[in-house]
Structure 1
């Protein structure tokens, strides 16, 4: 297989993490993705991150060349495309590896790196065809931006033949001043329009939001959740902002212009956010998962499991539950 040795080396940096949780802590204090998938499909479904060699209008010069302030050079992906692996080769390589690890043959094909619907419609159509041809795929997902999804692309994605298609759409914040500060290149209204159009075509939207963005308070973070609650969003990912090597945030952090929140501050904010979040929204992720060799700060972000355990224990101790403070019930 072309590039397999490079891919294997790269994948050693992506350890197959255990999904087991502390049995003394209830897993049902939030609407978790794993519970949703097992309930719907009857088996454990594993998400397979794929790299389609995509780029981004914030990288190629259409909007900017520097990217969003937090984005690393690999666009939060595996880099397997640059190692010479096609989507089908990546799929075979990863499903065999994770299938043995987790004893499952049910997989979710997820185009992760950069903005996978950016570019001409013909490219999106080709990618959807490749995903449809992957053996054993149960559902698909595409990571992208709201300004990279016009009606034609949404129609193409909705017509791909899968009953469940997720669009992971980066929002980060509902505050337009913040979006400008972090160089997103779109506003909140763009995100809201995209969600409405995707929902109208039967597509599932997972909104990505961030805590700890430069210039934002916890009140801003919670207001973003308030705004997400008002939209037909099906899922959400919480991310703690971390400083990645090579990101535009790195020199700001090195000069003292940015200080990441503490672990305690992040955990408190996420619990408050979960209690505010609509109870039907599926929680896909509770914190970021940086590669060890890309993380500069904060140090606590290295241990994803510790953050999750701390969050779950505190929710148990405080009897916190998703949607408890949702204001529109």
Structure 2
């Protein structure tokens, strides 16, 4: 643990590598089965047309070039010494194995890159891909990042995710069989979900003892189907205080060994419709830290495992 009262991923990296390690987001040029090969179908309700994490990526450049540009930024802003290549937008296992190997090898060939993180969907991981990912797990520091968002099938259907929770469970089990580190992405504040629904997702993540978790705030971007619903007044977003208290309860229910990789989400300023308070990211994180202290809670303090 650390003074943050949760198992902070950056502290884990610093202890493991002996210095600052930062992720650099990379666009592999791949697509998503929920959007079509040309990326033109609307896909999930909340998805940015450019894919998640599209801001700041040198789109169209080779993988190595993207990483070199990212290294300059991370060294200047954070004094980073080593880097993890994070294949982030769209589904980064949606290609033939030979193509994936070429992309991953190009990233690992860049100086000071000490690991890989591969983001994808649970319905995008056939057996041959898991075998490939297991090779990289043996070769380097490696994370598989799986987008789940919610354990509730009615929510996944509303979001047009194109998979159910059983599909995630199958992918998660296969990843565990290969010994992979798995970081699960969830979203808090999804339409139709109660506080109890969202905390049930936390309880299930604790039961699975996931290796890592990214907690995202539902934020609404212009140009997305969710944005249209918001403009018509058909959905609402959480207040900052409600979100802070919810995250505090969520953290307390997680397994104490799970690495917390994210506590909130923010979108590009020029396209963010709501909530605008999410732009003050560090203010939100500090409020979560304060709430944990005020409520005398920490990660795992309310874990519901029998």
Distance 2:39 2:70 in 1: 34
Q: Could you tell me the TM-score, scaled by structure 2's length?
A: 0.94
1:186 aligns with 2:163: yes
Alpha-carbon spacing, 1:62–1:74, altered in 2? closer, same or farther (3 Å): closer
The corresponding residue for 2:249 is 272
Q: Structure 2: 5+ residue runs without aligned partners?
A: none
- 8 A Cα contact 2:23 2:83, kept in partner: yes
Secondary structure class of the residue paired with 1:274: helix
The change in CA–CA distance for 1:232 and 1:125 in structure 2 (over 3 A counts) is: farther
The TM-score with structure 1 as length reference comes to 0.88
- Residues 64 and 170 of structure 1: is their aligned pair in 2 closer, same or farther, counting only changes over 3 Å? farther
Taking structure 1 as reference, are residues 256 and 122 closer, same or farther at Cα in structure 2, changes over 3 Å only?
same
- Aligned counterparts of 2:82 and 2:75: Cα–Cα separation in 1: 8
**How far apart are residue 62 of structure 1 and its match?**
11
CA RMSD in angstroms comes to 1.9
Match of 2:13? 37
Q: How does 1:1-329 map to 2 (within 5 A)?
A: 27-60=3-36, 65-78=41-54, 83-160=59-136, 161-328=138-305
List runs of 5+ in structure 1 lacking aligned partners.
Answer: 1-25
The Cα offsets for residues 1-21 of structure 1, whole Å up to 9 and x where unpaired, read as: xxxxxxxxxxxxxxxxxxxxx
Structure 1 counterpart SS, 2:143: strand
CA shift for structure 1 position 316: 1.1
Q: What's the offset of the Cα at 1:131? A: 2.2
- Alpha-carbon distance, 1:195 to partner: 1.1
Do the aligned residues in 1 keep the contact of 2:254 with 2:299 (CA within 8 Å)?
yes
Task: Say which is worse superposed, 172-181 or 60-69, in terms of deviation.
Answer: 60-69
- 8 Å Cα contact 2:256/2:300 also seen in 1: yes
